Amino acid sequence: MLLEPHVYLVVGREGTAGSLLRPIVGWFMRRTRRRSRLSVAGPSDTDLLDQRGEQVALAFDAIGARPRRLDNVEIAELLFSCWCPERARRQPLRIERSAS
């Protein structure tokens, strides 16, 4: 039997926001409605996730793994192949990528 290994790495947001101080302060600001005066500026969750993904990609690139970040359509295709491998083989997803 000829098998083709596929390796996927899922990077989560857990731990990217640093300490618990920031969400606690944010919650306190929302409760006291002082968001406009004492807002806590910082990178968003998406920025933190992007940074972490780049760090992990660099680490894997250093050992010759050459990772590639999947876009939205590829993530959908991956989930489809994991849920329904036979149907994904017979009827692959036909999602039009945006022109951006």
Q: Which of 17, 29, 57, 78 binds other proteins (CB under 8 A)?
A: 78
Q: What is the DSSP letter of 20?
A: S
DSSP for 22-53, written as a single string: HHHHHHHHHHHT-TTTS------HHHHHHHHH
Q: Is residue 20 part of the contact set for other proteins (CB under 8 A)?
A: no
Among residues 44, 62, 66, 100, which is the contact residue for other proteins, using CB under 8 A? 62
- 3-state SS assignment for residue 60: helix
Instruction: Give the range of 6-14, 25-33, 34-42, 44-52 binding other proteins by CB under 8 A.
Output: 6-14
Tell me the window of 27-35, 36-44, 47-55, 77-85 that interacts with other proteins (CB under 8 A): 77-85
Contacts of 56 (CB under 8 A, 6+ apart): 9, 11, 67
- Return d(Cα 4, Cα 23) in angstroms, integer: 43
* 99 near other proteins (CB under 8 A): no
Q: How far is the CB of 34 from other proteins (least distance, A)?
A: 22
* Interface residue with other proteins, options 8, 33, 97, 98 (CB under 8 A): 8
